[in-house]
């Protein structure tokens, strides 16, 4: 058997597994499109599931914030409405007492005598309602005014008169902090009738 000649060795040389292939002219990247990575792999596309989770979390977080804001506004609105409903008692009652005082003056030609406050102790209406007893409205001043409260009250009421003018005072302590808010309706006898004026004083919270 004859050994291969030099030409044969030259032809078999590139086919040897231990011999790396020769690069083409211009390198392995020659002829590849511009911007492409020769003999490389394109980067994997971003994961759709991960981005979807991020978006969902952002939406949920936004909804939680919005619901929290709405809850705070709702609580504030309810508290404001309840406080307004309670103070309406004082406005309506002082106005009613002023009207009865004017009616008594027109009926008797003079103002009714003064009364004491009902309830007399401010702690009785501190952050709570007070249910008066019928005997508390039976003194001369309330009899003259023909006035009596038969339902629980948030405020104490007092009528003060000096013969020429009168004052109806409502005092309340809705939040129970010991600081009273007051509603006053004043009336003064004038030649043409009784002139009224009102005043409201709310303590700073």
- pLDDT at residue 10, rounded to an integer: 46
- pLDDT at residue 79, rounded to an integer: 61
- pLDDT at residue 56, rounded to an integer: 81
Asked if residue 150 has pLDDT above 60, the reply is yes
- Whole-angstrom CA distances from 47 to 50, 53, 54, 57 are 6, 10, 11, 16
Asked if residue 46 has pLDDT above 90, the reply is no
Asked if residue 27 has pLDDT above 60, the reply is no
Q: Mean pLDDT over all residues of the chain?
A: 79
Average pLDDT over residues 165-169: 95
State how far the Cα of 117 lies from the Cα of 155, in Å rounded to an integer: 10
Task: Say which residue the tokens 């009102």 belong to.
Answer: 198
- Whole-angstrom CA distances from 153 to 83, 99, 157 are 14, 19, 9
Handedness of CA 103, 109, 111, 113 (dihedral sign): negative
Asked if residue 13 has pLDDT above 90, the reply is no
Is the Cβ–Cβ distance between 21 and 14 less than 8 Å? yes
Dihedral Cα 83, 84, 86, 87, nearest 10 deg: 110
pLDDT per position as a tens digit, 73-116: 666 566 655 566 688 999 999 999 999 999 999 999 999 999 99
The structure tokens listed for 151 are 């339902």
Mean pLDDT check: name the lowest of 37-41, 105-109, 186-190: 37-41
Is the Cβ–Cβ distance between 142 and 115 less than 8 Å? yes
DSSP string, 47-109: PHHHHHHHHHHHHHHHHHHHHHHHHHHHHHHHHHHHHHHHHHHHHHHHHHHHHHHHHHHHHHS
pLDDT per position as a tens digit, 108-143: 999 999 999 999 998 999 999 999 987 899 989 999
Which residues are within 8 A (CB) of 149 and not within 5 positions of it... i.e. 6 or more apart? 93, 118, 132, 137, 157
**How many other C-beta atoms lie within 10 A of the C-beta of residue 32?**
14
């Amino acid at each position: 058997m004859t050994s291969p000649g030099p030409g044969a060795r030259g032809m078999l040389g590139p086919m040897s597994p231990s011999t790396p292939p020769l690069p083409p002219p211009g390198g392995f990247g020659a002829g590849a499109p511009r911007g492409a990575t020769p003999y490389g792999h394109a980067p994997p596309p971003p994961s759709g599931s991960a981005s979807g989770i991020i978006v969902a979390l952002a939406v949920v977080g936004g909804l939680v914030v919005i619901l929290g804001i709405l809850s705070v506004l709702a609580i504030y609105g309810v508290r404001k409405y309840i406080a307004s409903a309670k103070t309406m008692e004082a406005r309506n009652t002082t106005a009613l007492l002023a009207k009865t005082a004017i009616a008594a003056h027109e009926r008797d030609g003079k103002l009714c005598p003064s009364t004491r406050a009902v309830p007399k102790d401010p702690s009785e209406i501190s952050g709570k309602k007070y249910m008066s007893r019928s005997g508390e409205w039976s003194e001369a001043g309330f009899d003259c005014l023909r006035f009596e409260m038969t339902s629980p009250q948030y405020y104490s009421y007092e009528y003060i008169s000096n013969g020429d003018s009168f004052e109806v005072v409502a005092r309340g302590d809705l939040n129970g902090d010991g600081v009273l808010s007051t509603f006053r309706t004043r009336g003064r006898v004038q030649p043409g009738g009784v002139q009224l004026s009102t005043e409201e004083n709310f303590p700073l919270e």
